[in-house]
Chain A
Amino acid sequence: MSSDAAKADRIRELMATEGDAVAENTRGFNEGRYDSTSRLDDYEELKGEARAIKEDAIARLPELIEEVKETVEANGGTVYVADDAADANRYITELTAEERDADRLVKSKSMTSEEIEVNEALEAEGVDVVETDLGEWVLQVADEAPSHIVAPAIHKSREGIAELFNERFDPEEPLETAEELTMFARERLGELIEDADVGMTGANFIAADSGTMMLVTSEGNARKTVTATDTHVAVAGVEKIVPSVEEFAPFVELIGRSGTGQDVTSYISTLTPPVDSPVPDFQNDGDPLADGSDADRDFHLVLIDNGRLAMREDEELKETLYCIRCSACSNSCGNFQSVGGHAFGGETYSGGIATGWEAGIEGLDTAAEFNDLCTGCSRCVPACPVEIDIPWINTVVRDRINRGEADQSQVDWMFEELVPDEEPAGLDLGTRIVGNYETLAKWGSRTAPIANRLADVGPLRALGERVAGIDRRRDLPDFASQSLVDWFEARGGAAVPSEEASREAVLYPDTATNYVDVDRGKAAVRALEALDVHVRVPDLPGSGRPPLSQGMVETAKAKAEDVYAGLARHVDTGRDVVVIEPSDLGMFRREYEKFLPEASHERLADASYDVMEYLFGLLENGGDPAGLRAPAAGTGPVASGTRVAYHPHCQARTIGVGEHATAVMERLGYDVRTSDTECCGMAGSFGYKHDYYELSIDVGEPIREQFGDTDRTVVAAGTSCTEQIDALLGDAPMHPVQLVAPRE
């Protein structure tokens, strides 16, 4: 079995065993995030502030490391900067097992300690390591790995934990409820903490100018871990340092809200260790708790490099170091919600940002194991409290994987001849077919209907599945025999002459609209002309979205340059650019920032509009809504009814144009119900891939639950949403512009 097939099997298995628990918990966290952040008046400002603090701190990192060494040592602690995991573990085990001769070390939750696998190192030296975070403890008892960076046992159900505890500990009364399980763990861990010699914590933030560290927790185990032991070892990545305690504030407000949807976690410990609390002596407990003397405490801060300083020098991976490990990118991710971190994760980290961490810490091979689970839907982008472009990191790493792992023996002579991409020979065939979708579509349109007929032939689909990984259960696009550009030219161009027009617009003929779904292009022309817009539909290249989704960065960049070259004249003439396909508008507004000179990107981004956003703007500026199609009166066919179900496209939501369609439809009198599913699961080509077909369908399941038996007219703007909803509901939705455009 190939490694891809094994991976696909593993994903199916995880969806069956852990998917339900992961889905329930992550979707709950994600809703909590929306609720909690909506209560902040200055959410966007806070994110900007947090981002600026991290940018500055990482830029000055070497200097801050030196400063923290001085301040912690002035406070009476010790700092050790470990080059890698082995170096850190050697220091920690020598301190714990040899100097302290410790029998037991108690730990609060720390992903960095998982990264260096310090438990194994300590246990090898005979130290009993006890995880005191309840979720981590469950996993320690079960001998499993975390599936989520904040809630590590998110994949386990209450029933599963009860079964585990009852079997392992054989309590007098079988444990059942969450309360019983928690109290059992509290008591048992409480005893283990009392007898412990060393306490280990992580650190969410460290202030350089005072040596103060911040711990964000809810259970109180980190507080007990520090208080009950006289030796405190804090393990933290070097990237956790910020200049001073004042910079903690925006993170305190953002981290809980972004992660599990708590406004603030129960405990924010800001410790300047060694701490002043007396050490309770649980062995001689008749002694006074505090005898007035200074506590005899020892503190060691172990700062971990382990690839981070190299990431800092890597222009693309550097942003990863801004990550505060809040888990928003996991919880907002459709694929993560379905499979969890056991599939969507590497050695230690999981979720969207894990690609950056694992690539930087473990290497490309580890990142390659799960990187393609990021579909680029971008829903994590507005969720990230430090504004990391997580899809971009995933794309860049995919590009490096493509280039590094290219297998020269693969048969791709056909594509070397046929496609104009900028990628190395030997690139995976499925990647290449999707990446060159524009060429395929152009060819398909010219040769339709032969191409359409061939595409549906069973044996050919089987071959496509085997060679290119395209699942045969998916309908392939039907290419139109006349493209939108040709149709527009054939009808004689614009119906509204420019001298009579309110505005002039270029309707961008995106690949899907131009060659496959020409009807929505025609509808857009009608809607725009109904509002007195002089429309042009010039022949323009594809946006580069398909190659970008495959990590073909150079090809996407070449497309961006071509598109800009084709549009610059129009933009400079003052024409607006109207885009039907949201994923292409997303390119213009977001990704082109990486590909074009700053001024060019800004000019194009400012001139470009989603078609529904544009109609909204025209209506707001006095356009006559009577020109558009209001719902038909009475009880006609469903398609002309008042009631609409609308699924906004993921990337449209990220760039802030998901709601304009709702506003326009409501303005015209439609009753609109909007889906709150982050992404339909199709995500461009992702759902076509044979390995991910079931996952893709599972991600879209909430749409079926919400709209499955609706009598509403279903509308969706994205081509891939259209295909996915067709597969989910058995009927293809139309683009909102087709609903509101006047009839032909």
Chain B
Amino acid sequence: MRSPESSGMSLADRSTFKRRLDDLGVTVSEGPESACRDLIAEAAGDPAVGVSDAPLPDRVETEPTTADLRAAHTGVTDAELGVAEYGSVAIEADAAGTEPVSLFVDRHVVVLRERDLVPDMPDAFDWLGPKTREGSVDIVFATGPSATADMGGLVHGAHGPKEVHVVLLREEGSEGDDTDE
């Protein structure tokens, strides 16, 4: 499970990742890069703000003001990495505002490319380690929605998003059909 050569994407990682997300109550939609805009449109509520390298639907405000962020139902961001064993996505707190857009909203729609999926937590920290030494990088590993049990029962959306949706993009031309796993 932890062999160093197993850092590449595999079908097993993808199905593990999806199973973990399902356990966490995170919805997933999959498709090729070309379907990205449609997948996001389906997943995002209104109003929506977004900072992403992926093509976003027109109704997503891509240069939001703080007021837009406050009013937003959905925030769309990229993920730098996915961790299959945990169903985690790595959000970079960058200058574009990925962190506030993923955080000050009710629904976080996160775009992850399959090639950025790693099997397990040690792989994620092997990825992160050199980055922290090269320069100042801020990464939040988010696993499922914000949660608390402090008020006498499990509630989602304590401070952060109440819902999370992952848009999983496969590279054009790759074998992507795993419906009968």
Question: Which residues of A approach B to under 8 Å, CB–CB?
Answer: 41-42, 75-76, 132-135, 138, 151, 153, 156-159, 161, 177-179, 181-183, 185-186, 189-190, 207, 209-210, 212, 218-221, 223-224, 227, 244-246, 248-250, 252-253, 260, 263-278, 280-282, 284-290, 292, 294-295
Contact = CB atoms under 8 A, between A and B. Distances in A.
Interface string B117-149: 000011011101100110011111111111111
B67 A285 contact: yes
Contacts of B125: 245-246, 248-249, 252
Contacts of A274: 136
B86 A270 contact: no
B151 A295 contact: no
B160 A157 contact: no
11 contacts: A134-B151, A178-B151, A186-B157, A186-B158, A227-B93, A270-B139, A272-B132, A275-B138, A286-B67, A288-B63, A292-B95
Contact of A190 (B93, B132, B159): B159
Given A245-B125, A287-B66, A220 B103 contact: yes
Contacts of B153: 158, 177-179
B100 A277 contact: yes
Contacts of A161: 151-152
Given A277-B95, A277-B100, A209 B126 contact: no
A201 B72 CA distance: 27
Best-surrounded residue of A42, A263, A273 (most CB of chain B within 10 A): A263
A519 B167 CA distance: 68
Best-surrounded residue of A75, A134, A280, A290 (most CB of chain B within 10 A): A290
B70 interface: yes
A263 B94 CA distance: 27
A246 B147 contact: no
Interface residues of B, number: 58
Nearest to A137: B150
Given A224-B104, A270-B138, A218 B146 contact: yes
B150 A151 contact: yes
Contacts of A290: 51, 63, 95-97
B121 A270 contact: no
B20 to A, nearest CB: 8
B159 A221 contact: yes
Contact of A266 (B129, B155, B160): B160
Best-surrounded residue of A265, A267, A269, A280 (most CB of chain B within 10 A): A267
Nearest to A283: B66
B140 A269 contact: yes
B86 A263 contact: yes
A161 B133 CA distance: 45
B155 A132 contact: no
Nearest to A74: B136
B158 A182 contact: yes
A285 B155 CA distance: 29
A266 B149 contact: no
Contacts of A135: 148, 150
Given A246-B125, A270-B141, A272-B136, A285 B93 contact: no
Contact of B143 (A132, A209, A264, A287): A264
B70 A285 contact: yes
A219 B159 contact: yes
CB-based closest 4 A-B pairs? A158-B152, A220-B160, A178-B153, A219-B158
Nearest to A158: B152
B68 interface: yes
B133 A277 contact: no
Given A218-B148, A276-B94, A277-B94, A270 B132 contact: yes
B124 to A, nearest CB: 7
Contacts of B146: 218-220, 266-267
B141 A227 contact: no
Contacts of B149: 151, 260
A267 B151 contact: no
B70 A245 contact: no
A249 B128 CA distance: 10
Contacts of A76: 136
B99 A227 contact: yes
A54 to B, nearest CB: 16
B158 A270 contact: no
B64 interface: yes
A182 B151 contact: yes
Nearest to B144: A266
A207 B63 CA distance: 34
A596 to B, nearest CB: 37
Contacts of A177: 153
A273 B149 CA distance: 29
A185 to B, nearest CB: 7
A274 to B, nearest CB: 8
A374 to B, nearest CB: 27
A72 to B, nearest CB: 10
A181 to B, nearest CB: 4
Interface in B84-115: 86, 88, 93-101, 103-104
A267 B160 contact: yes
A247 to B, nearest CB: 8
A218 B147 contact: yes
Given A224-B160, A269-B140, A277-B138, 17 more contacts: A75-B136, A178-B154, A182-B157, A209-B133, A221-B158, A223-B159, A244-B132, A244-B133, A246-B122, A249-B126, A250-B122, A267-B140, A269-B141, A276-B94, A284-B66, A285-B66, A286-B67
B3 interface: no
B137 A272 contact: yes
A290 B93 CA distance: 12
A290 B101 CA distance: 11
B138 A178 contact: no
B132 A212 contact: yes
B88 A264 contact: yes
Contacts of B48: none
A284 B65 CA distance: 9
Contact of A181 (B64, B96, B145, B152): B152
Contacts of A151: 149-150
Contacts of B121: 249, 252-253, 264
A210 B133 contact: yes
A189 B159 contact: yes
Contacts of B148: 134-135, 182, 218-219
A376 B129 CA distance: 40
Contacts of A207: 132
B69 interface: yes
B47 to A, nearest CB: 14
Contacts of B161: 220
A259 to B, nearest CB: 12
Interface string B45-88: 00000010000000000011111111000000000000000101
Contacts of B101: 289
B150 A267 contact: no
A157 B100 CA distance: 33
Nearest to A219: B158
A244 B122 CA distance: 13
Contacts of B126: 246, 249
B95 A266 contact: no
Contacts of A272: 132, 136-138
B86 A223 contact: no
Nearest to A246: B129
A374 B122 CA distance: 35
B151 A223 contact: no
A281 B64 CA distance: 12
Contacts of A263: 86, 143
B103 A223 contact: yes
Contacts of A189: 159
A295 B99 CA distance: 13
B100 A227 contact: yes
Contacts of B124: 249
A599 to B, nearest CB: 35
Nearest to A269: B140
A266 B65 contact: no
Contacts of B94: 276-277
